[in-house]
Amino acid sequence: MFDPDNEDYPAEAFAEEGRTGRQALWWELKVTPGKPNLLFGAEQKLAAWMAFNLDLGEHFTIRMLREALGSEVVPNDQEHLNRRFRELRKDGWEFPSNKDDRSLPSATYRLDAKGWNPALGARPPRNVVSERTRRQVLDRDGWRCVICGIGPNEPYPDGFGTAYLTVGHIRSREAGGSSQDLNNLRTECKRCNEPVRNEMRVPQTPEELLPSVRNLTRPELERLLAWLEQGYRGRDRLDDLYDRARMMGFDDREHLKAKVRRTLGLPAAMN
């Protein structure tokens, strides 16, 4: 029941249960506000709870969500909850896991961006990149940010974190760009993705870049010019070979490493 003197949650965290006049927290509703015959869905409850209980950058787990919402939301069905949770990405939510960022503990997510939740009003139409399309874009771009060239989980040169890859729009959705057109999509790391470009820790003007440019050798200048003219960082056969090796399992990588050392006439690596 909404208590205006209760400062735990703001008024917008509460909604009417059906048409009863009873106020409850969004994630505790059983039926949809204004629609007493329509059950209130798990996705809406998840979005509402996360919006009002998690801060950006905070870590959380599926178990935490289940305990917060109660078993009656998705009784005895872990996969159902996981599926509903993943669907939130289509509403603008961003929460990388250990599979995206190896610095995260196993089975843990980090909240990077909040998307739609029912307190914001009607759910907007979804113009999102499907999982199948996302994989096509990543495979096409070699699992590398086409802007800066960094790969998944690689450390940034300035030492501030590791890369998390996403699929960005060349023409934004707000400007009418399609999330289904492969020609409008490209692989971007989190820094280079449009919503966070203002936070990039790199020079923003030619004047800031020129001192470093002048220190390049002629082959380096030629390579930089080729990247600038084609609009993305090119990759040579060594880059491609390394990317393919990175996708192998640990034992296979160690075996390949030993082969390369042997080819160079180097002693076996010390364990």
pTM of the model: 0.51
Query: What is the predicted pLDDT for the residue at 203?
Result: 44
Domain limits of the chain? 11-120, 127-202
Query: What is the predicted pLDDT for the residue at 61?
Result: 93
Query: What is the predicted pLDDT for the residue at 12?
Result: 93
Query: What is the predicted pLDDT for the residue at 240?
Result: 75
Query: What is the predicted pLDDT for the residue at 124?
Result: 77
Query: What is the predicted pLDDT for the residue at 3?
Result: 42
Which residues of the chain are under the pLDDT cut of 50?
1-6, 74-76, 196-203
On whether the CB atoms of residues 45 and 56 are closer than 8 A, the answer is no
Question: CA-CA distances (angstroms) from residue 205 to 2, 174, 190, 210, 216?
Answer: 52, 27, 21, 9, 18
Query: What is the predicted pLDDT for the residue at 176?
Result: 66
Query: What is the predicted pLDDT for the residue at 161?
Result: 78
100, burial (CB in 10 Å: exposed 0-12, middle 13-18, buried 19+) = buried
Query: What is the predicted pLDDT for the residue at 140?
Result: 86
Rounded Cα distance, 271 and 211, in Å: 42
Four-residue CA torsion sign, 30, 33, 37, 38: negative
Q: Report residue 45 as tokens.
A: 């409850």
What residues contact 163, with CB distance under 8 A and at least 6 apart? 145, 150, 151, 152, 153, 154, 155, 156, 189, 190, 191
- Coil, strand or helix at 103: coil
